[in-house]
A and B are shown apart, each in its own frame.
Chain A
């Protein structure tokens, strides 16, 4: 079956640093990828998404990179702030296109 995994369960950075969170997926036919941020006590909050016909997509302070050759997805956060502290999930659309498959999450801790 399809699976999604994150490389590191935790990441600690200093305020102002750039953060990179990595994710691997198993199904080479996957064509939609999405990053969510989850703060304590809240539901996942959409950050940015990317389709398989793109390698890179930029938002405000965030960039998602997709490497289909190695089935790898990353989220880059520029100038990380304490408010960025949260759990970050990558998710992949399943083959049927009907459900998102989530990875386990990386806890980002930002110290000032």
Chain B
């Protein structure tokens, strides 16, 4: 079964540094998402992306965050200047059509640790 793949699985960075989290969505999916999960907490929506532009973003997704689909297969999340509170699991997800017509498929996440 096709799956969403994310790299790296674990990223450690120093506060103030830029990080790029990478995702390869399922190939015939057109809608892409980033969610995050602080340890032991619920999964929180960050941003949705379709047709090369952001569809919606949450309050968490401030000016420090950006997303990009640099080519036909990758979908990236960049955090420009990381803060300690950015430490979390970041999940990429994709869907073939917008909800509620098809469910989101999630990758296994990147654990970001900001020191």
Contact = CB atoms under 8 A, between A and B. Distances in A.
Interface string B97-115: 0111001111111000000
Contacts of A83: none
Given A43-B91, A44-B43, A31 B109 contact: no
Interface in A30-47: 31-32, 34, 36, 41-46
A42 B108 contact: yes
A97 B43 CA distance: 17
A43 B43 CA distance: 10
Contact of B99 (A32, A41, A45): A32
Contacts of A25: none
A46 B103 CA distance: 7
A89 B41 CA distance: 11
A49 B108 CA distance: 20
B65 interface: no
Interface residues of A, number: 26
A98 interface: yes
A99 B58 contact: yes
A97 B99 contact: yes
Contacts of B68: none
Interface string A76-112: 0000000000000101011011111111110000000
Nearest to A39: B108
Contacts of A42: 108-109
A81 B110 CA distance: 28
A32 B107 contact: no
Contacts of A100: 35, 43, 45, 99, 104
Nearest to B104: A100
Contact of B56 (A41, A43, A44, A98): A98
Given A43-B93, A49-B100, 20 more contacts: A34-B103, A41-B108, A42-B109, A43-B91, A43-B107, A44-B43, A46-B103, A46-B104, A49-B103, A89-B42, A93-B99, A94-B45, A100-B35, A100-B99, A102-B35, A102-B42, A102-B43, A102-B44, A104-B42, A105-B42
Interface of B: 4, 33, 35, 41-45, 48, 55-56, 58, 91, 93, 98-100, 103-109
